[in-house]
Amino acid sequence: MNTGVGRARVGQWYLRWDKGEAFQVTGYDEPSHTIEIQTFDGDVDEIDEETWTALPLGLAEPPEDWTGPVDDVERDDLGYSETDMRGEDWRQPLEPFPPGKEAWEDTSEGEPPAVSPDTPAEELAQIARDLVE
């Protein structure tokens, strides 16, 4: 049922379809004919060759963040190149969005007239009637 992945290759990532689990082959023990594997979350296990051929397996790409199962990895060990980021770049996403007009605020007829606390009641009533019409 191994669907064509063949013999286990050390360093290759595989996907176990029945469990949806990705793992990497980390070694092969000749005397016991067992395949040593490690899942992404760090679990270590062994599979005998007979079981290997019966598993529903497919080849898989290595995870984007391969450091999941590895303890104590220093940033320098990852091989990432330096970026040209500056201190102000870290603040950029935290700055507020510029204010904008919402769709419900759109008044195609123009802005309503400005009123003040001193506007006479008759004028306020006329403004209200004009807005409703």
Buried b (16+ CB within 10 A) or exposed e, 67-80: eebeeeeeeeeeee
Note the pLDDT of residue 65. 66
Note the pLDDT of residue 112. 62
List Cα–Cα distances, 121 to 96, 107, 132, in angstroms.
Answer: 40, 24, 17
Note the pLDDT of residue 97. 64
Over the chain (133 residues), what is each successive 10-residue block's mean pLDDT? Answer: 79 90 92 91 90 91 69 59 65 64 62 72 80 71
Note the pLDDT of residue 34. 95
The domain 1-65 is classified under which CATH number: 2.50.20.10, 2.30.30.140, 1.10.1200.10, 2.40.110.10? 2.30.30.140
In the chain, domain spans: 1-65
Note the pLDDT of residue 25. 93
Amino acid identity for residue 82 in this structure: E
